[in-house]
Structure 1
Amino acid sequence: MEARGLSRIWPRSLQGQLLLAIALALLLAQGISAALLYSAQVDRRNDALIHTAAMRLMPVARRDEPVPSPDGPQRRHPGRGMGVQALGSFTVLPDDRRNTDGEAELRSWLAAQGIDAAEIIVVQRRVRDDPLAQRRLVQRERGGRKAEREGKLAPPERVMLAAVRPQGQPQWLVSRVLVPRAGFRPGLTLVSQTLLLYALLVGVIAVVLGRLTRPLQALTRRVEHFARTRDPDGQIEPQGPDDVRRLIVAHNAMEGRISSLLDEKDVMLGAIGHDLKTPLAALRVRIESVDDDAERERMAATIEDIVRTLDDILSLARVGRPSDPREPTDLSALIAQVADEFEDLGEPVTLAEGERIVVPLRPTWLRRAVRNLVSNAVRYGKAARIAVARRPDGIAITVEDDGPGIPDADIATMQEPFRRGDPSRNSATGGAGLGLALARAIAEQHGGRLDLANRRDATGAVAGLTATIVLPPA
């Protein structure tokens, strides 16, 4: 399910995939950039907090100002926030976040001022867990800072406590600094920067990709057209970058060579057909002078087998380059005609009722393909049931029999020329192994396919073969 959902989202064209890949790479780069900027801002904020705490602690630690009495109220200093408090001990709470990097930095600040600290502890604590910080926050909110009243800044949730015990002193000096909330919004910044950069780049990239992909799209359409029609007319002019131009030139040359080979093949097949059928016709006349009726019939049957095989070979060679155009055809009526032909010969062939389906096709060729399938079903399966129906993947012409089927391992190779299946499908039963190959070639000529599958009964045994020609939807 997830793979199918991804395939729907992922563009199919080369230009779309390249643009999406660039967008994803840009998004990733912007995400990394946003993460680095956020980390740098956090580091700057922490440095500022440590610097503020150091500025408050240094005068007291150097004894430039009186040391507050241990366990007494904090000593307040104008312009210094919550000031410094002297405590007999300092306890780290379970929910406190210890900042070892901040402790090292604070020690460095104090040492630069000649202050030797025996112990330093720096933690971040929730405001609600520190009564002094909670009171200070309430006082500040009552003072009505403009930004907070307007809702531009959310009140701090944490407070940083920097606790220092100077060398040779029993009390701890504790400074509190409220930790402001981060004002950086990486998500919004990332999206806005990505959109801006993508808007600037997509125009230039789209022009470059268009110059590359337009000739490839034209070449693809040309290849598809040539594969359907084998028509050498309408070759595209070389365009685009040099590599694409060389590709188009090479393809045009290949088309010309293929067309020449096909023309030579048609001439050769015409000559073969004429040169072989003429002596065969003469043999038909000569065998009439044979007195033995049984021998004359065997000779006539042999000649007919040779003629049928020759017709199949020539048809298989010509099917890839038909000369007759497609025309709207009532497919149901065409199949009914084939079924009537076999019923007139007394063969057990039945046609299921179905809706009227009109599709553009080559009636002569498709009639021959269906005849081959029905003939095989009658010969090897003793009966044939034909049905025509619409399916999600196209229009299906199904021929079922009640024969022994085909070994599963041989189904794929049975559609190749001159291939027979089990020993029951030998020359004595008729055919040269071209019926399925010709039916498959005709189906592919119409843009469809030939499917072979064994039909099984309730016990799992093979109950017959199902041959299906699937044509594209009308």
Structure 2
Amino acid sequence: MNLLARVRRGLPQPKITIARWIALTTLAAMLFLLLLKVLFSLLLSVWAQPPLLESGLIEKVAAVTRILDAAPMAQRATLASAAGDGSYTVQWLQHYQEAGMPLLVDAELRQGTPLLRALLKRPAAQVQVFEPGDIPGYAAERGYALMIELTDKSWVLFRAAYRSWGLDELPRNLIILALMLVSSLAVALLAARYLAKPLERFAEGARHFGKDFNAPPIPVVGPHDLRQAILAFNATQAQLKHFLNDRTQMLAAISHDLRAPLTRMRLRAEFIDDAQLQAKLFKDVDEMQAMVDAALGFFRDDARLEQTTVFDLGELLLTVVDDFKDAGVEVVLSGPHRCVYSGRPVGIRRVLVNLIDNAAKYGREPTVVLAVSARQIEITVQDRGPGIAPELHEQVFAPFYRIEGSRNRDTGGVGLGLPAARAIVLEQGGSITLGNRPGGGLDVRITLPLG
């Protein structure tokens, strides 16, 4: 066993790439088709024998007839008896009546008679063909019979047992073609299954990573080049996760370290005699403190560490709206009451609370609309406030950006609400866009993919 393992390790191990796998699959399909044709040819001789014109029987009949026609009359009976080969018997008759066959008006084999006359080189030769139904029931032998008149007006009788002459050429070729197509489809499905399964896992893993940065690596299976692509994707995924973790820790540390100088500034402001200057300084310190706290909350967002789970998005929306109603804010909710979604419920809840809170603060008549289609889910948060200028629809997603004018700066916030909402939605594979409503107001649309 050790020797066999050493020999196997010593042999070259070819890399099965997608191109080589397609070539091997094509070769296997061709070999399989050839094997199937051979097997069908064997079956052909059992249950689908070739028609009479293709069996070679007419050529044998013509040869025997020519021999008997040229032989002396005294030897014809013996020669005819010896000419049978098991599939048919031959009998020489002095007169037609000796055969005991009925007289038929149309007893010629329409396709075979011209060929038989041509092989006999006698265009006017009389040929009588009898099927099993033409032979009387009292006859000693039933089956097929063929009578040919010789040049001296005697007859030769060929008898064959009852048999099926099989399928014609067109039906047989159609059956062969159908079996070849079925076998090709079977081989193609097997080959596609080998390639499609790793590709499906690759695509599913990429979609999962788009919705969850903590998704596990993709299993490395499949042809060589596909395995290399999966390895590269897994390495990129690990690097992105490492980069995000390092960035989060660094920015959180910076935000944390800013608290110490802010505390010192507040203490020093206590010793300022000018009350008006002191109030302004306290206000700036409080605003900076709020920004630091918001930054710490943004960078240490536990929602980003949340695992993906299946939950009822419609029930989550209803719960959020009820919470606002309990706080005295009337929010209108429309859409299906049940919607199963795979994502991060804590993160989505935080996004909804942020957007509904903005709609209540900066506008009026906050409304939430849930729409579900075959491929995606849309959650729209609307209000009837002043809206946002179209040229600022992208700028408001920049961290710490606050609008002067259309959105009141004194109502609170440091400009991290919308950036945090977009980050959470993007991490779940979705998108968030802004639009102004006809008649005034803002329309915030969240799109989440299904599947």
TM-score (norm 2): 0.50
The structure-2 alpha-carbon separation of the partners of 1:432 and 1:192, relative to structure 1 and needing over 3 Å to count, comes to farther
Match of 1:163 in 2: none
Partner of 1:402: 384
Which SS does the other structure have where 1:406 is aligned?
coil
Could you tell me whether the CA contact under 8 Å between 1:325 and 1:362 is conserved in 2?
yes
Assess, with a 3 A threshold, how the Cα gap between structure 1 residues 414 and 144 changes in structure 2: closer, same or farther: farther
Cα distance in 2 between the residues matched to 1:307 and 1:422: 21
Partner residue in 1 for 2:320: 334
1:196 to 179, 190, 193: 179
CA positional deviation for 1:246 = 1.4
User: Are 1:230 and 1:321, in contact at CA under 8 Å, matched by a contact in 2?
Assistant: no
- In structure 1, what residue type is equivalent to 2:196? T
Is the aligned partner of 1:212 residue 2:191?
no
Which whole-Å deviations, capped at 9, do the CAs of 1:198-224 have from their partners, x for residues lacking one? 222223333333332222222222223
**Mapping for residues 145-160 of structure 1, pairs under 5 Å:** none
Do the aligned partners of 1:450 and 1:468 also contact (CA within 8 Å) in 2? yes
C-alpha deviation, 1:264, in angstroms? 1.6
Distance 2:216 2:205 in 1: 10
Match of 2:212 among 229, 234, 259: 229
Q: Which amino acid aligns with 1:197?
A: M
Q: Is the 8 A contact 2:359 2:381 kept in 1?
A: yes
Matched residues in 2 for 1:219 and 1:254: separation?
A: 14
Cα displacement string for residues 165-205 of structure 1 (whole angstroms, at most 9, x for unaligned residues): xxxxxxxxxxxxxxxxxx998xx999766643322222333
| Structure 2 runs not aligned, ≥5 long | 1-17, 27-104, 112-167
RMSD of the TM alignment (CA)? 4.4
Cα displacement string for residues 281-302 of structure 1 (whole angstroms, at most 9, x for unaligned residues) = 4434443444444433433332
Pick one of 242, 245, 250 that aligns with 1:260.
Answer: 242
Match of 1:287 among 253, 256, 269: 269
Determine the structure 1 residue equivalent to 2:330.
350
Secondary structure of 1:350's counterpart equals coil
Other structure's SS at 1:452 match: strand
2:423 maps to amino acid: A
Taking the aligned partners of 2:392 and 2:442, their CA distance within structure 1 comes to 13
Corresponding pairs, count: 288
Which of 214, 223, 231 is matched with 1:249 structurally? 231
Residues 467/275 of structure 1: CA separation in 2 closer, same or farther (3 Å cut): same
Distance in 2 between residues matched to 1:368 and 1:286, nearest whole Å: 37
Q: State the match for 2:141 in structure 1.
A: none
Q: CA contact under 8 A between 1:229 and 1:321: conserved in structure 2?
A: no
Provide the C-alpha distance between the structure 2 equivalents of 1:195 and 1:422, rounded to a whole number of angstroms.
74
User: Match of 1:450, SS?
Assistant: strand
| Offset at residue 402 of structure 1 (A) | 2.7
Give secondary structure in 2 for the equivalent of 1:219: helix
Deviations 1:20-40 (A, max 9, x none): xx9xxxxxxxxxxxxxxxxxx
- Distance of 1:317 and 1:144 partners within structure 2: 100
Q: What's the offset of the Cα at 1:146?
A: 8.5
1:291-370 map, 5 Å: 291-317=273-299, 322-325=304-307, 330-331=315-316, 332-338=318-324, 340-341=326-327, 343=328, 349-352=329-332, 365-370=347-352
Structure 1 residue 275: deviation in Å? 0.9
Which of 359, 363, 367 in structure 2 is aligned with 1:386?
A: 367
SS in 2 for 1:456: coil
Q: Alignment partner of 2:437: what SS?
A: strand
Contact 1:232–1:256, Cα closer than 8 Å, also in 2: no
Higher-RCO chain (CA-CA 8 Å, sequence separation at least 6): 2
Structure 2 equivalent of residue 465 of structure 1: 442
The amino acid of 1:454's aligned partner reads: N
CA distance in 2 between partners of 1:240 and 1:326 (Å): 27
Residues 446 and 249 from structure 1, CA distance in 2 versus in 1: closer, same or farther, beyond 3 angstroms?
closer
CA distance in 2, matches of 1:316, 1:201: 57
Tell me how far apart the structure 1 counterparts of residues 371 and 215 of structure 2 sit (CA, whole Å): 34
1:217 is paired with a residue whose SS is helix
**Alignment partner, residue 165 of structure 1:** none
Partner AA of 1:335 in structure 2: V
1:340-386: CA deviations, max 9, x gaps? 54x4xxxxx421266866877656544542343245435543x3513
Distance 2:381 2:229 in 1: 44
Instruction: Tell me, in whole angstroms, the C-alpha distance in 1 between the residues paired with 2:418 and 2:395.
Output: 10
Residue in structure 1 matched with residue 130 of structure 2 by the alignment: none
Q: Name the CA distance, whole Å, in 2 between partners of 1:356 and 1:333.
A: 11
* Distance in 2 between residues matched to 1:473 and 1:235, nearest whole Å: 20
Paired with 2:332 and 2:208, the residues of 1 have a C-alpha distance of 36
Question: In structure 1, what is the Cα distance between the partners aligned to 2:343 and 2:215?
Answer: 22
- The question of whether the paired residues in 2 share the 8 Å contact of 1:266 and 1:318 is answered with yes
Distance 1:397 1:304, change over 3 A: farther
Counterpart amino acid of residue 366 in structure 2: R
Q: Which runs of 5+ in 1 are unaligned?
A: 1-13, 23-141, 149-182, 344-348, 458-462
Report the AA paired with residue 386 of structure 1.
T
Q: Distance in 2 between the 1:403 and 1:226 partners?
A: 37
| Cα gap change, 1:189 to 1:282, in 2 (>3 Å) | farther
Shift of 1:266: 3.0
- The residue that corresponds to 2:62 in the other structure is none
Kindly report which structure 2 residues correspond to 1:106-121, keeping only aligned pairs within 5 A, or say none.
none
Q: Is the 8 A contact 1:284 1:300 kept in 2?
A: yes
